[in-house]
Amino acid sequence: MNKIIAKKVNMTQIFSEAGEVFPVTLVVEDSKGLAKKGQTLNTNSKGLTLGSETLELKEGDIVTVSGVSKGKGFQGVVKRHKFQGGRRTHGQKHSEREAGSIGGGGRAGGRVVKGMRMAGRMGGERVTVKNLKIIKILPETKEIFIGGAIPGRRGSKVEIRT
Strands in 41-43's sheet, in edge-to-edge order, are: 41-43, 48-50, 56-57
CATH of domain 3-70+125-161: 2.40.30.10
Alpha-carbon dihedral sign for residues 20, 22, 23, 27: negative
Q: Which residues contact 132 (CB under 8 A, 6 or more apart)?
A: 62, 63, 64, 65, 146, 147, 148, 150
pTM, to two decimals: 0.75
Q: What is the pLDDT along the chain (162 residues), one digit of tens a residue?
A: 578 899 999 999 999 899 999 999 999 988 665 555 555 655 555 555 544 444 688 899 999 999 999 999 999 999 999 998 888 888 878 888 888 888 777 776 778 888 899 999 999 999 999 999 999 999 888 899 999 999 999 999 999 998
Domain spans of the chain? 3-70+125-161
- The answer to whether the CB of 69 falls within 8 A of the CB of 125 is yes
The confidence score (pLDDT) of residue 119 equals: 93
Q: What angle do CA 10, 14, 19 make, to 5 degrees?
A: 160
Separation of CA 125 from chain center: 9
Q: Where are the beta strands (DSSP E) in 16-156?
A: 21-29, 41-43, 48-50, 56-57, 62-68, 73-75, 120-122, 126-138, 143-147
